[in-house]
Amino acid sequence: ENTQMLEEKKAWKSEKEKLQEVGKMKTEQINKLTKEQKESFEQLHKVLKERDAVKESLADEKKENGRLEKMVEELQSLIKTLKNEIDDN
């Protein structure tokens, strides 16, 4: 009976060690995945920041194009007015 108890104790100890090893491996996996997730979020944040900068740049470019188109229209109108004045003289 004493021998059986020692064998059971060894078996439980062995099982405990196996479970501790599995727990350690799972903790390492969780830490690795957490690190990868953090890196992924950082990359996503960087991409979103770049996207926003491009959007802003495109909006600025669109405003500038609108301003230039208006200037062209004003210059064309001025040229037409000057031509009419020249033709009248």
Provide the pLDDT for residue 53: 97
Provide the pLDDT for residue 60: 96
Provide the pLDDT for residue 43: 98
For the chain, 89 residues long, give each residue's pLDDT as a single digit of tens: 789 999 999 999 999 999 999 999 999 999 999 999 999 999 999 999 999 999 999 999 999 999 999 999 999 999 999 999 999 87
Provide the pLDDT for residue 13: 96
Question: Strand runs (DSSP E) across the chain, as ranges?
Answer: none
Count of helix runs (H) and strand runs (E) in the chain: 1, 0
Separation between Cα atoms, residue 89 and residue 80, nearest integer Å = 14
Which two tokens mark 70? 């208006």
Separation between Cα atoms, residue 84 and residue 11, nearest integer Å = 108
pTM over 0.75: no
